[in-house]
A and B are shown apart, each in its own frame.
Chain A
Amino acid sequence: MPPRTRPCAKTRFRFAALEAGAAGHLVPGEAGDDVRAVQALLGRAGYLGSNYVPGVMCSSTCGAVRDFQRSYRLAETGVGDEATLALMQRPRCGVPDVDRARGLALAPFSAVGCAYPNADLTYAILNATPDLDSARQREILAEAFDAWARVSALRFREVAPEQNPTFTIAWQRGDHGDGAPFDDAGSMASNTLAHAFFPPPCGGPNAGSLHFDEFELWTDESASNRIRLLNVAIHEIGHLLGLGHSDNRDAIMFAFYADDVDRLRDDDVAGVQHLYGPPARTAGDAAVTPFRFRPTADSDEFDAFPEVADAWHRLIDFFFESNIHGAPDDEAEAAVEELRRWGRGARDLRFYNPVERAVPTGSTPANVTWSALPTSFEPLFHGNEEGMFAFLDEPQFDSRIGRRTRVQDEYAEWTAMRDNEGRIRRIVFTSEPPEFYRFLFEDRLGVGTDKTHPLLLSLYRERCDGADVRIDELADPLRPDRYDPYNDWNNRFCVHMQQSNNTLGAQINIAARSAILREDTATGAPITSAQALIACARYGAAERQSDPTIGAVVNAQARENRFLTLENPVGLYMTGIDLAGFATPDGSDVGRLWSVKKGRVVPNRPDRTMIVRAEFAAPEGVGFGVSDVTIGGAPIRFGAEVARHVGIRLGVLLGPVSDVPPPRPIGCVGQAPRAPGPLALLARRGG
């Protein structure tokens, strides 16, 4: 077949039956090109043998249609109905779904039964497509191999073609001599994007070859009528490694192409780990137990509820996923989503989800620290400290949410409870994120409210001096199925954080997005300072102490090519209170006034302490109250004066300097060559 002039989109096969005004289906007895196409597809995909009447429904063709429908969890009508035809005509991989000789069938994950015996594999790139910059192609292929290496014991290295590579990668057109020709126009084969051959002996003489169809228009971005190389490359490498097609539509090993499926899902991971094992674990971590996110502060609240503990793990995993890769219905701007708008990808991010990627050997814990007393409002008060403290101590009306809420914005909140004379009885501090309580109330992960609501109520009652809190009092007044973090009990008793940015999701989003390297696109100069970074990347709130500090520390590690993630259990932890300068009226030990209500205290190790709830109050019967305690000679008038001495930390795990190619910087939010999706914009406006 003569080569066509490029660029020119392929003429893909389309069923006439699906055209406007047509029947929308193929029934027994029908004949024609559509039927021939169905038979061609079923034959190539392994459903249809040679014993059928060409061009006519049905006989053995209907049985093959039924098998196809079963594989793809469609209604098993046995005829060419609309859903079936619509799926069949989507672009797909050229590798069969079914291979009776090898027992291959569609399953959550399937393996052909052939795998490479060693874990160190090499590949060579034989040619390039003119559609993409050749260096970029090389990077995309490296990223695709890395996707598999991250979750398995496998390691990949690019070598020259003469160095006897395990895999060869080439762009081919038409009949290229492997018995599976590509086609550029009209036939069902025109819907084939690429194919790859299984490991020997399953793959036969072509084992280890990966062919992309040069007739396609390849791209590294999302664009209609172009195909994203990364998605197809990851998929085809799965075949090179011995994996068949998956019946999970979100999996990378699903046979049909989708623009937004560009990374491994659980069943892909399970498949490759089945063949090659999980990543090598760090020394001393011999037990190959799957990574689990532990309850905040290692609390024992879930001990009686294993399903709740499991759901919590999945929830935190979701926070990582949605802030790193982006999830279909999340509201946050995800790091990889942003990188893609600049033609970059996951390999340019040094923040990872420990579920997805093993913690690198030699990782060390480190802390970002700050004080619980906000500084955001200082410019409003111009040195009027008393006015600012009075403001900080009381909930304020927030027009964005139309409710009163605490405004303390350093990932810890407090309430100063006063007696009738206005004297402080006790100050309650919390750094518990609202997600935990929302999780228990809404039960989105299906644990069962018979388990989560009693736990929620017991926590509320304990925090609200034993009051008879009812579940309906915690519901959003307008949407009773939703949790209301501004409920009266929380407002009064400081049950958990409610300021709109004091969330675990925000914390993970800041860590993920600050791990992206930034540069001034006009000059190419790296952006490194804390305030310049947060102004550029718009994670968190620039006026806080915590957010720019977290961002600067994370970004500096990424610049040094270190992989990092958050400490497990993920949380926002108070480290304790520095009582130096505090004095009681009777000279007794002021340490008696501070009590930890939830969390874990490691003596003399504030860097490891995990406090999420604490109180500052005079013990019963001592004859004085908080307002009689002095700090540096000045009697305590506000909770804020005590909050100043409460420390907060965010724990991170810093990997060693990595030898992978360094991440590439991008410019600032709003300057990307491609616009963000509407949800991302919405989230940024809101937060």
Chain B
Amino acid sequence: MARDLSVEPVLDLDEIQGNIIPGFRKDFQLFAFFSIEKADGARAFIRALGPQLDSARAVLAAHAEWKALRGALGREPGAAYGRVFLNLAITGRGLERLGRGADLAAFADDGLRFGLAARSTLIGDPADRSRSGHRSRWLFGSGEREIDLLLILASDNAARLEARFETFAEAGAAQGVALIHVDRGDVAAAPEPHDEQFGFRDGISQPALRGCRSDDPDRALEPDTWPQGEAFSAHRAAFAGPGRQLIWPGQILFGHARQRRDDPLRPDPADTPTGPAFSRNGSLLVYRRLRQRPDRFEAFLARAAAEVEAAVPGSSMNRERIGALLVGRWRSGTPVMRSPAQDIGLSGPAANHFRFATAMDVALPGDDAAPSPGDFNGEICPFAAHIRKVNPRDEPTDLGGAERTVPKLIVRRGITYRAGSSPAADQGLVFVGYQSSIEDQFEFLMRAWVKDPHRPRGGAGHDPILSLEDDGFVRLRLEGRSIDVQFRNDWVVPTGGAYLFAPSISAVRDVLGTAPSFALGYLGKVIAS
């Protein structure tokens, strides 16, 4: 079945901030968190930022420019491409401080209304103050260090990125917008570029947003990247390419329709995210600063491998294999579903061409590895494996059919960081995810699946990367036996974060950058138009 672009909306690419779609995808990203001390000054600060924000269209154009330059140079341009992107987001408290309390109340999302710190134990962060990861120990985003505004800057040229940031920091200081915290992301912060800190290739699987760049029906934002041929026709309607589930814009953006219930191919025009009028084309942003401890993770893998080997002699368990079972991928990114016994170094679309519950029915050209078999009972890839927990793909869940997993997907724009060069340096990942409901998407995934050992499948165990439960376990199925690997995660520690709203570019200019009385004028304009 073909994808019907005529029913997908034309996206207002001049309005949507560019890190939502298509994503900045730069080597360096800087996340600057501010607190609003003076509302008027903050409005002026924001007003001045408005025209500088990079829209989706601008970022798409820049990516094309970068590609052309790479073609001309015959190599990646690196710092030679010096463009710096800018985006902005605001927390619920930030909206209140700008006098937008009524607008905040118009958002249905409790996540935005109450903020990450108030929600942290709900999603599984420690409730015990003495435990690392508790919100009282965060670097920012809690208590005295609550934040209101986030600026995201991104570039391949670190020097220009820093220079630009300096101007914003100075302007903020002059206008009652105090800098609270800065995170500096670097795709090369891990030992291998594009790996995360534990040495696993990251960012392989992303949903693909439906919608068009213009009303020319051939201009899909995310065009079909499947190989040609009938063999793939059954996949084209729901996937832009291998593992790239198509999602309706309302799942990420306000003012757009979400998926019709149980039918990923059709939108439900009556189901749009609930927010104030100016929320259209905006998105909710979850920011989590996750410190990673590779030494502790490796020690855990060694212990777990030894325990499993002792329990099932001859299972030839080792750190690499147990790591793959816990993540769901080998370090190269090869899915365990494609190669249960060893890392065969799959990359590109082949590394994302798999399912869990039912066998993959078609092979990609040149992809000679065995297609993923059906693994309904989690005997190949454990139910609790990180990538299976947060995206069970085709398998039924506690919600019902796999059609109900699609609306849970979020777009991820995270990047690794490393503060300092010593082995003990603070390093990790800043998780950046966009969605239209924090409650139903990010929080659901964390609350209902990551931290619940019996969901989405009974007897799964906990996500060994993200769950911070005291009595964590992962259930492995080996040679017909069940083995529970116990753990208490001290290798991924939340050290800060926020729930924010990333408004449309016009909303920054016309609403956040103006006093509320002006906003009424804006509302009038919207209603009149």
Can you list, as one digit per residue, whether each of A27-61 has a CB less than 8 Å from chain B (1) or not (0)? 00000000000000000000000000000000000
Given A552-B396, A634-B110, A530 contacting B402 (CB threshold 8 A): yes
Question: In the assembled complex, which residues on chain A have CB atoms less than 8 Å from the CB atom of B108?
Answer: 383-385
Question: In the assembled complex, which residues on chain A have CB atoms less than 8 Å from the CB atom of B309?
Answer: none
Pick the interface stretch among B25-33, B157-165, B269-277. Answer: B269-277
Question: In the assembled complex, which residues on chain B have CB atoms less than 8 Å from the CB atom of A89?
Answer: none
Pick the interface stretch among B209-217, B298-306, B452-460, B490-498. Answer: B452-460
| Interface set, chain A 358-385, CB cutoff 8 A to B | 364, 366-371, 375, 378-379, 382-385
Question: In the assembled complex, which residues on chain A have CB atoms less than 8 Å from the CB atom of B268?
Answer: 379, 382
Q: Are A529 and B400 in contact (CB under 8 A)?
A: no
CB-nearest residue of chain B to A365: B459
Given A369-B455, A382-B270, A531 contacting B400 (CB threshold 8 A): yes
Question: In the assembled complex, which residues on chain A have CB atoms less than 8 Å from the CB atom of B404?
Answer: 375, 545
Q: Choose among B115, B448, B452 the residue that contacts A633 (Cβ–Cβ < 8 A).
A: B115
- Interface residue? B118 (CB, 8 A): yes
- Interface residue? A604 (CB, 8 A): yes
Nearest CB of B to A526, in Å: 9
Question: In the complex, how many residue pairs between chain A and chain B have their CB atoms under 8 Å apart?
Answer: 125
- Interface residue? A281 (CB, 8 A): no
Complex CA gap A604/B453 in Å reads 11
Pick the interface stretch among A155-163, A193-201, A574-582. Answer: A574-582
Q: Are B458 and A531 in contact (CB under 8 A)?
A: no
Q: Are A368 and B458 in contact (CB under 8 A)?
A: yes
Nearest CB of B to A429, in Å: 18
Can you list, as one digit per residue, whether each of A564-596 has a CB less than 8 Å from chain B (1) or not (0)? 000000000001001011010000000000000
Nearest CB of B to A652, in Å: 9
Q: Are A369 and B398 in contact (CB under 8 A)?
A: yes
- Interface residue? B394 (CB, 8 A): yes
Q: Are B400 and A548 in contact (CB under 8 A)?
A: yes
Complex CA gap A545/B262 in Å reads 11
Nearest CB of A to B363, in Å: 18
Question: In the assembled complex, which residues on chain B have CB atoms less than 8 Å from the CB atom of A553?
Answer: 396
Q: Are B376 and A649 in contact (CB under 8 A)?
A: no
Complex CA gap A549/B443 in Å reads 22
Nearest CB of A to B109, in Å: 10
- Interface residue? B286 (CB, 8 A): no
Can you list, as one digit per residue, whether each of A449-480 has a CB less than 8 Å from chain B (1) or not (0)? 00000000000000000000000000000000
Q: Choose among B127, B261, B271 the residue that contacts A383 (Cβ–Cβ < 8 A).
A: B271
Q: Are B114 and A530 in contact (CB under 8 A)?
A: no
Complex CA gap A649/B377 in Å reads 17
Q: Are A631 and B122 in contact (CB under 8 A)?
A: yes
- Interface residue? B397 (CB, 8 A): yes
Complex CA gap A614/B270 in Å reads 37
Question: In the assembled complex, which residues on chain B have CB atoms less than 8 Å from the CB atom of A607?
Answer: 454, 458-459
Q: Are A530 and B270 in contact (CB under 8 A)?
A: no
Question: In the assembled complex, which residues on chain B have CB atoms less than 8 Å from the CB atom of A557?
Answer: 377
Nearest CB of A to B261, in Å: 5
Interface size counted on chain B using CB atoms at 8 A: 49
- Interface residue? A133 (CB, 8 A): no
Q: Are B454 and A575 in contact (CB under 8 A)?
A: yes
Complex CA gap A382/B269 in Å reads 10
Most buried by A among B401, B404, B448: B401
Q: Are A634 and B396 in contact (CB under 8 A)?
A: no
| Interface set, chain B 252-300, CB cutoff 8 A to A | 261-262, 268, 270-274
Question: In the assembled complex, which residues on chain A have CB atoms less than 8 Å from the CB atom of B377?
Answer: 556-557, 560
Complex CA gap A274/B83 in Å reads 88
Complex CA gap A631/B401 in Å reads 28
Q: Are A384 and B401 in contact (CB under 8 A)?
A: no
Q: Are A531 and B114 in contact (CB under 8 A)?
A: no
Q: Are B454 and A383 in contact (CB under 8 A)?
A: no
Nearest CB of A to B494, in Å: 14
Sampled A-B contacts (20; CB under 8 Å) = A369-B458, A370-B398, A383-B273, A529-B401, A530-B396, A530-B402, A542-B262, A542-B400, A543-B261, A545-B400, A548-B396, A575-B454, A578-B447, A580-B122, A580-B124, A631-B122, A632-B122, A633-B110, A633-B118, A634-B114
Binding site for B on A (CB under 8 A): 364, 366-371, 375, 378-379, 382-385, 528-532, 542-545, 547-549, 552-553, 556-557, 560, 575, 578, 580-581, 583, 604, 606-607, 631-634, 647, 649
